[in-house]
Amino acid sequence: MSKPLIRKVLGRFGYRLTRVPPDQYRLNRRFDADDLNKSLAVVKQFLPSDIHWAGARKYLQPRRVSFYYETLDVLEAANLPLDGARILDVGVFFGYMLRILHNYHPTGIYSGTDTNDSRIEIAKALCPFAKIWRGTIDSLEAGTNYDLIILTEVLEHLANPQVALQRLRDITTGYLLLTVPDGRYDSTAAKEYRSDWDGYTGHVNFWSLESWQHWLNRECPNDEIRTGKLPTGQLYAIVQKDFKRRSGRESH
């Protein structure tokens, strides 16, 4: 059967034939294997079994760590005010994103949240410079202001991502840094629903680069939004809150 005919048949059922590109990413130039190994040694001290340790190593693998460095590159390339900034990482997991940020911008004021007590203890050990506590997006205090809020690989899990996005906008005075998987190649199925954070252990939201930009423009019409794709495959967005509204006032 020819490819045009396959595409036509799939199209009748709402599907599209897409070629998945080869995985050709390279570790970020700043990737620090020594720091990763030291951090994994700390992580291991908090885990009760070899099964938990195997899961931790699978999570904090070189590709994910390289993704954190790529995220740092995006923040720096956008000239975001990182030095001395109030920075919150929502869904901090083991805290490695904050650890990397602090290594390069030690004057920042760092905070993080998570919903798992073991991960919170690990994050505190890896990030003694940060305030880290148990919390969800909807539990973040109104009136608390951050210069930058980071939300990596979370929105794809949430039942109501638009609500989470607006909540984060409410408590930032400057910027959001968001990442999600590329929905064209993401095949992670939805699994258990978690009412404590209104999300799924699998994925229920899938964005292409085009629909990612469209969704953010619709949800944040007064913001400047810059999107792109990281070398490790994730989509990112830098959202500058109320940029268009402020620019409109200044032009008058």
Q: What is the DSSP string of 159-188?
A: S-HHHHHHHHHHTEEEEEEEEE-BTTT--P
Average pLDDT of the segment spanning 101-119: 97
CB 228 within 8 A of CB 214: no
Strands 199-200 and 131-134: unpaired
What the block records as the tokens of 73 is 């590159």
Query: Is the confidence at residue 51, as pLDDT, over 80?
Result: yes
pTM exceeding the 0.85 threshold for the entire prediction: yes
What tens digit of pLDDT does each residue of 54-105 get? 999 999 999 999 999 999 999 999 999 899 999 999 999 999 999 999 999 9
Q: Which pLDDT belongs to residue 160? A: 97
Q: Which phi and psi (to 5°) does residue 101 adopt?
A: -55, -45
**Dist CA 37 CA 217 (whole Å):** 40
pLDDT of residue 182: 97
Q: What is the mean pLDDT of residues 126-147?
A: 93
3-state secondary structure 20-62: CCCCCCCCCCCCCHHHHHHHHHHHHHCCCCHHHHHHHHHHCCH
Residue with tokens 């099964």: 51
Mean pLDDT of the chain: 91
Give CA–CA dist 239/217, Å, rounded: 10
Contacts for 225 with CB less than 8 Å, ≥ 6 apart: 213, 216, 217, 237, 238, 239, 240
Q: Which domains, ranges and CATH numbers included, belong to the chain?
A: 61-251 (3.40.50.150)
Taking 50 as the threshold, does the pLDDT of residue 6 lie above it? Answer: yes
